[in-house]
Chain A
Amino acid sequence: MMLQATELAFGYGRVKVGQSVTLSVDRGEVLCLLGPNGCGKTTLFKTLLGLLPRQGGHLELNGKDISTFSRAQFARHIAYVPQATGAYFPFSVFDVVLMGRASRIDTFASPTMADRAITQEALAALGIGHLAARPFTDISGGEKQMTLIARALAQEPELIVMDEPTASLDFGNQAHVLSRISSFAASGMAVVISTHDPSHAFACATRVALMRAGTLVAIGKPADVLTPQSLQALYGVGVVVAYLEQAGRHVCTPTLNARNAP
């Protein structure tokens, strides 16, 4: 297992957010984390990324405790695509993606031609080569998301962690991001994402984990875990899970109020 969390407890400082989380992810897998707002998904991700100290349990990367990794060593294995970026200055899209090379550039050094070439490849892989010279602060939300994913790709990681990569994207851009995620897994990377749309889990995940109040209530294959019963228990609304022949996969949709119910 590439990343293995065992009985993980996590939170901010003395505040406990979650506990007893056991999960793992390996190359070629997409693990999708579902859960209502405030259940602790982002806190769990930050703990998995070593950005918050864990409060208990074990967390290993390639069999070694993650506390033995420096930030740079860790970043060569795992990339993070945050929900929103704190970009306050108008760096060009190229320069933002180039920042993904940081863990492979010595502290006192600057990017080489090779780093620039890899940046160029990452931009091309996400189909945003034409944005290279644009200021990051000027582009659309969808373009920003693609830029951050390109930055993670430029990191050349084995695992990409994405916190709600489809949130605040329009319908088309959501589809674009989901197909990128599938292609990353197909190319041998591991991906961990969180989402609020169970259909997205069916679209790209190999495994799904359901999280409620800081603990995992289920983990397994999408078809086993994502049932109307489990989703109703998770979100408190009625859910229809149906196989859509034209799409070739399952989709989920909530049943709205009683009047509209059949």
Chain B
Amino acid sequence: MQQHQKAQRAGPIAIGALAALLVAIILMAILTGKYPVTPGDILAVVLAKITGSASGVAPTIETVIWNVRLPRVGAGILVGASLAAAGAVYQGLFRNPLVSPDILGVSAGASFGAVIGIFLSLSVLAIQGLAFAGGLAAVALVYAIGSIVRERDPILVLVLAGVAIGALLGACVSLLKVLADPYNQLPAITFWLLGSLASINRTDLLSILPAVIIALLPMALLRWRMNLMTLDDEEARALGVETRWIRIVIVAAATLMTAAAVSISGVVGWIGLLVPHVARMFVGPDFSRLLPASMLIGAAYMVGVDTLARSIAAIEVPLGILTAAIGAPFFLYLLLTTRRGWQ
């Protein structure tokens, strides 16, 4: 029992340490870049914006901090935390550590929506809107197919339907790439499909914030029930859990979150797959600790990777390339070193 209580107390300490890590990475991200910024400048600008007074910082630096780096870091936090939270939820719900937020086709649907937008030369806002709607529509379709098929393992049916719909949408995206203007549209499509925060502004950030908060609410409220959702469906029902509606609510929340994130960042792979594993190593599988830990690590990882993406080369490196280049070897390392189970 004492040993158990010690394990219970280790959770909050680990989460505190992860929060401190996130703060450090945020600071580093704002300080990194072509224009030199000091921690004092950041404090002065933020205080000035809150109080409405003058900051006393050079106008260029103020613009760099307030209009460029802070929104970008904010987007990194929001996108990273969202993808990681959705990944943690889906891995639990589908009882499979290889599941990522795109399992039900949300990324494929969002890609298709965004690529249509780019193909039709629509505005950025319209492209984001189409990506968001495409992500939700793809998962709704997958869920509808899953509900029609009865008398089989509901989880397996959902995953298989997700694979099929995802492949279909992938084919549509490929077709549009072939048809797209290779000089104007194709680079934009490719860039979107690999993910980037380069063109983020404050409006993007504020436009997805409500969706992320609305989606987070049921995840946080159902945090203990989520532990039971990782059991076999019949076992969870025998313990008194109404798995059917909890699954609908959780899938809807995770989809909303992922679609919102992907609509402003493009497809950023690997975060939703990798981060929950790392979080589980720190705080164990209990969802009430796994959710905050995943969000903190996801946000820190995304902000860190995005800072690399804009500083290691003269051009912006697409995020998907970096998250995979860092994530895949790390994932293999986990595969080779973890004993068994997915700790």
Contacts and interface: CB of A to CB of B under 8 A. Distances in A.
Interface residues of B, number: 40
Nearest to A111: B224
A155 B4 contact: no
The interface size bin for chain A is 35 or more
A71 B231 contact: no
Given A90-B285, A107-B225, A133-B3, A99 B232 contact: no
Interface of B: 1, 3-4, 6-7, 92, 95-97, 150-151, 221-225, 227-228, 230-232, 234-242, 246, 280, 284-286, 288, 340-343
Contacts of A95: 227, 286
A49 B285 contact: no
A152 to B, nearest CB: 9
Given A76-B240, A91-B227, A108-B221, A85 B342 contact: no
A137 B235 contact: no
Contacts of A51: 234, 237-238
Interface of A: 12-13, 46, 49, 51, 70-76, 79-80, 82, 85-92, 94-95, 99-100, 102-105, 107-111, 120, 129, 132-133, 135, 137-138, 151, 155
Contacts of B286: 91, 95
A109 B242 CA distance: 15
Given A108-B221, A109-B224, A85 B238 contact: no
B4 A132 contact: yes
Nearest to A76: B240
The 7 closest A-B pairs by CB, nearest first: A103-B240, A75-B240, A86-B232, A89-B285, A13-B151, A80-B238, A137-B341
Contacts of A72: 240-242
14 contacts: A72-B241, A75-B239, A85-B235, A88-B97, A89-B95, A90-B285, A90-B341, A99-B228, A102-B241, A103-B240, A104-B240, A110-B223, A110-B224, A135-B341
Contacts of A73: 240
Contacts of B7: 92, 133
B238 A49 contact: yes
Given A82-B234, A99-B227, A89 B239 contact: no
A59 B162 CA distance: 38
B275 to A, nearest CB: 15
Nearest to A154: B239
Contacts of B230: 87-89, 91
A174 B69 CA distance: 65
Contact of B239 (A90, A94, A103, A107): A103
A118 to B, nearest CB: 14
Given A110-B224, A132-B1, A155 B239 contact: yes
Given A13-B151, A120-B1, A102 B340 contact: no
Contacts of B225: 102, 107-108
A74 B234 CA distance: 13
A120 B280 CA distance: 24
A102 B4 contact: no
A10 to B, nearest CB: 14
Contact of B96 (A79, A88, A92): A88
A89 B280 contact: yes
B4 A92 contact: yes
